[in-house]
């Protein structure tokens, strides 16, 4: 059976060439934290998440520092209850990358993102952004939903795939789907 291009791209990314990827990451470290990219690096992944090579689409590479999600200790006076030094940030890296890209490009909406590499210090993501005001997007039947006013600031409100996963709204392996409202909220209402 003949295989298509995207099959071979997917297979190549399962075991990427370490030397090439290392060289790329060295150059990515020297570049800006959020940088526009002409074409997506993982074309198969980008196409699977809704990317099309047409007007209104923008792909951005985001560099994130790994670690450091523990809340720092306040340097001014607090009572011990309000110090909150043991609490960690619950957001995943992908969601943080999407939010940073959304903040940088305010007129665009985040569609989705994917990991392109990580080293000892950084995570690298590619974030797919859409311009909802462009006629090519408004006339596309599969993408015109993003032009509606209810989808403004998707990444900030946790409505992207990564945001929903981080908020516990998507079922993970071995766990049941999270129900909204919670069981306790249902008890309070008398159901």
Structure token digits, residue 107: 């007129």
Yes or no: say if 162 and 98 are a contact pair by the CB < 8 Å rule: yes
Among 30, 168, 48, 40, smallest CA distance to 116 is for 40
Mean pLDDT of the chain: 87
> Which helix (H) or strand (E) covers residue 65, if one does?
strand 57-65
**Cross-strand bridge partners of residue 58:** 129
For strands 109-118 and 57-65, give the pairing.
Answer: unpaired
pLDDT tens digits, residue range 17-54? 999 999 999 999 999 999 999 999 999 999 999 999 99
On the question of pLDDT at 81 being above 90, the answer is: no
On the question of pLDDT at 180 being above 90, the answer is: no
On the question of pLDDT at 176 being above 80, the answer is: no
The Cα–Cα gap between 19 and 12 comes to 14
Sign of the dihedral through C-alpha 91, 93, 95, 98: positive
pLDDT tens digits, residue range 113-169? 999 999 999 999 999 999 999 999 999 999 999 998 888 999 999 999 999 888 877
Q: What is the mean pLDDT of residues 52-74?
A: 89
Q: What is the mean pLDDT of residues 94-109?
A: 95
pTM over 0.75: yes
Domains, the chain, in order of start with CATH, read: 5-153 (3.40.1120.10)
The Cα–Cα gap between 180 and 185 comes to 9
Q: What is the mean pLDDT of residues 175-186?
A: 62
The Cα–Cα gap between 19 and 165 comes to 32
Q: What is the mean pLDDT of residues 78-101?
A: 86
> According to the model, what pLDDT value does residue 174 have?
61
Q: Where are the alpha helices (DSSP H) in the chain?
A: 5-14, 18-30, 43-48, 93-104, 135-138, 161-166, 183-188
Question: How far is CA 5 from its chain centroid?
Answer: 25
> According to the model, what pLDDT value does residue 188 have?
61
């Amino acid at each position: 059976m003949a295989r298509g291009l995207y099959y071979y791209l997917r297979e190549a990314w399962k075991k990427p060439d370490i030397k090439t990827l290392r060289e790329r990451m060295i150059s990515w470290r020297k570049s800006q934290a959020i940088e526009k990219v002409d074409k997506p690096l993982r074309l198969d992944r980008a196409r699977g998440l809704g990317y099309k090579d047409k007007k209104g689409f923008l792909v951005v590479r985001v560099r994130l520092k790994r670690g450091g999600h523990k809340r720092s200790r306040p340097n001014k006076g607090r009572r011990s209850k309000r110090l909150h030094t043991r609490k960690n940030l619950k957001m995943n890296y992908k969601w943080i990358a999407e939010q940073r890209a959304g903040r940088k490009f305010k007129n665009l909406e985040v569609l989705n993102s994917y990991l392109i590499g990580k080293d000892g210090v950084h995570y690298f993501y590619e974030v797919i952004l859409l311009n909802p005001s462009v006629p090519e997007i408004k006339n596309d039947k599969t993408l015109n939903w993003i032009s509606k006013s209810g989808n403004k600031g998707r990444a900030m409100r946790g409505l992207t795939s990564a945001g929903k996963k981080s908020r516990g709204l998507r079922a993970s392996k071995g766990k049941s789907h999270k129900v909204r409202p919670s069981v306790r909220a249902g008890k309070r209402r008398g159901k």
